[in-house]
Structure 1
Amino acid sequence: MAYHYILFMLAVIAGIYLWPEEEVKVDAAGKTNTQQLELSLETMNKHSADRTVKTPSTYSVETVKTSSKVQLANSQGRELVVALEQFWRECQRLDDCALQLSNLKLQLSKSRYQLLLRYLDLNKDWQRIWVDTELNHLVSLSDKVAEFKQFAAMVWGDFANVIFADEFALYDFSLELGSLSDTSVEEFVDDYQALLAKWQRQEVLLVLESDHSKYEKGVSIIPITYSPDQVQEIKNQLAKRYLTDKDLSAIIAREQQVVQQNDKVDQYQTKLSALNESLRAQRQITNLSDSEWQTYTEKEISKFRKDYFRYQ
């Protein structure tokens, strides 16, 4: 369906709207992941160009239900795109698009009616413009988001703000989160809380409904310039404001587990490096052929791995 490309990035919305500037990619569709904002398009399904109306049944005249009308008239972002897609899918199925458009023309604002009328063509234009568009030449996230918005406005005009309302909100929130990188340690938590308060109405979209998610997001944006002691102090302040004792205990246990796992990995790499060094020394004094030596080293490394993990 044509709306898949517009909504693709919302499927992985949790953790996709904070992007390190040096790793962010912006392509056409607003797609994001944990460290990468990708705005790319999937190929859209072709829509029928024939909207000729045959004599409709009584049922087909009433197919635009009240809820759909409300969405077409008042919604924005994902909800609006779903309503637009549903309208065209259903009216094409019933072959009565002209009649339904005529009916809605009296019920929608001029702007919303024009969006509904032009939606399929604008979608096709949106696909074409992004096929050969690449924003990776831009360095900063702010530049990439700005150029994405520019292209969106070029295709969709004033409709861009309602069609991409969810994406624009995610991008703008991410940019504001990035501004906290210049905040002092003493002001970080207060500034973070102020930012959350500003975006409170968008908590569902930003996946920040729960206090636990607010804590996790706050921890994820602590500036890398802070010292370990400062980082721990920020974590403690965030935990005090957003976590229960049970939540805090679970997080501490998880962090300890991660530390232990990292220690095991470091130990493994250290011992494996020592084994490889020993094998290189042995190679200098052995008379084995290359194939015999290869077999020997593979057996030694395999034995090392089995013994190591057996006793962990």
Structure 2
Amino acid sequence: MRVTLLLISVAILGSVYFFITDEKIMSSAKPEKTISQLSKNAEATGQPTITSNQTNPQVDINQEFPKQKNLLADGQGQKIMTALTTFWQQCRRYDNCEQLLIQQQLLLNQERYLLLLNFPDNQQEQQRLMGELLISKDTSLADKIANVQAIRTQVWGKDAKLFFELEDAYYDYRLSLTEPDNRFNQTHNADDFIEQYNQLLQEHSADLDSFSLNTDIAKYEAALQLIPENMTEEQSANIKAQLASKYLTANEQQSITSRGEQVNQQTQEITNYQQGLSQLETTLTHERATSKKMMNEQDWQVYKTERFYQFRLKFFNS
């Protein structure tokens, strides 16, 4: 009887042990099945699989560069150029250009997206063509500008206006000032010149920043370059005085006056030196033909060198 009860107890304990062991095995197998199923679902839906040992950070450009996102969609001129350059620099840094391009394709219109997509190749092509452009020093400003604009149009097409509209406006402004019959060459006195210059600034008031004419000193220096060559010295001086009074502070005017006096003094010294040297050469030529006619060549060269030395010594020590 006792033997029978012992055998029954052993059987029951064995059943419990195998039940518990089987449950542990089943429990340990469940996560593997779940992860495997997630991977299959990710592949089926096209979504990326997230793993714990992922090392390549995926940067969302819309979170990290919110201002750049707006510029890619709405920017113009230098701003859009900077935004496009920054986009490609950053995505190459993080090695996630493909992901960010997919994001931008959903955010940008077709034209802006293609501009972004093709930007590196187009920029490289423009640099190549500009590097191959040979411009003679005798080429006119108008031809130089036309050559540059032709390359931009060839590379960027209608997007050239998006990038370079402000620059083209500046080119037009500069060209208008180089024409022989420009408004300043038609002026006859200081008052006419100042009036025309004020009118020019008013016409381009919205572009003064891009034209680098947003400070008084810049306006002063730009005006000096526009004074016609056919102006008399007195009229030119009058124009400069009126410009200085309008655009320069008292200290700036004094500095320019002092610098002008220094330049005039140096110019006069150069003139005096050249005149004195010319007179000495004439005197030596006469001496060689008369009083120094019998002097041998070696002694003559020594004598002439000494005269030049004494002339320079006296001139620079006076």
**TM-score past 0.5 threshold:** yes
User: What residue is the counterpart of 1:125 in the other structure?
Assistant: 125
CA RMSD, Structure 1 to Structure 2 (Å): 3.0
- Residues 230 and 103 of structure 1: CA distance in aligned 2, closer, same or farther (over 3 Å): same
TM-score scaled by structure 2? Answer: 0.69
Contact residue 59 and residue 96 of structure 2 kept, 8 A = no
How much has 1:219 moved relative to structure 2? 1.6
Asked whether the 8 Å contact 1:60–1:96 carries over to 2, the reply is no
Pick closer, same or farther for the CA change 1:148–1:297 going to 2, 3 Å: same
Select 2:225's aligned residue among 220, 228, 235. 220
Q: Which residue of 1 aligns with 2:83?
A: 83
SS at match of 1:103: helix
Greater relative contact order, per chain length (Cα 8 Å cut-off, separation 6+): 1
Question: What are the within-5 Å matches in structure 2 for residues 1-312 of structure 1?
Answer: 56-59=56-59, 65-136=65-136, 140-178=140-178, 179-185=182-188, 186-284=191-289, 285-286=292-293, 290=297, 293-311=300-318
- Residues in 1 aligned to 2:140 and 2:163: alpha-carbon distance in whole angstroms: 24
List per-residue Cα deviations over 1:148-173 (Å, max 9, x = no partner).
Answer: 32332122111212333453243222
Q: Is the 8 A contact 1:64 1:87 kept in 2?
A: no
Distance change >3 Å, CA 153–CA 304, structure 1 → 2: same
CA offsets, 1:116-155, max 9 Å, x none?
Answer: 2111111232234334433449854234323432332122
Cα pair 2:287 2:293 within 8 Å, conserved? yes
1:91 corresponds to which letter in structure 2?
C
Do the aligned partners of residues 108 and 283 (structure 1) sit closer, same or farther apart at CA in structure 2, a change above 3 Å counting? farther
Q: Secondary structure at the match of 1:209?
A: coil
Q: Distance in 2 between matches of 1:61 and 1:133?
A: 37
2:105 and 2:113 in contact (8 A); partners too? yes
| Unaligned residue ranges in structure 1 (runs of 5+) | 1-53
1:255-291 C-alpha deviation (Å, 9 max, x unpaired): 2222111111111111122222233333443555555
Helix, strand or coil: the match of 1:180?
coil
Could you say which residue in structure 2 is the equivalent of 1:50? none
Question: Contact 1:78 / 1:166 at 8 angstroms: preserved in 2?
Answer: no
8 A contact 1:105–1:113 mirrored in 2:
yes
Query: Matched residues, percent identical?
Result: 31
Opposite residue 213 of structure 1, the aligned amino acid is A
Q: Distance in 1 between matches of 2:197 and 2:219?
A: 10
TM-score (norm: length of structure 1): 0.70
Q: Which amino acid is 1:68 matched to?
A: Q
- Code of the residue aligned with 1:160 in structure 2: it is A
State the Cα distance separating 1:97 from its structure 2 match: 0.8
Give the greater-gyration-radius structure (CA): 2
In structure 2, the CA distance between the partners of 1:123 and 1:299, relative to structure 1 (3 Å rule), is farther
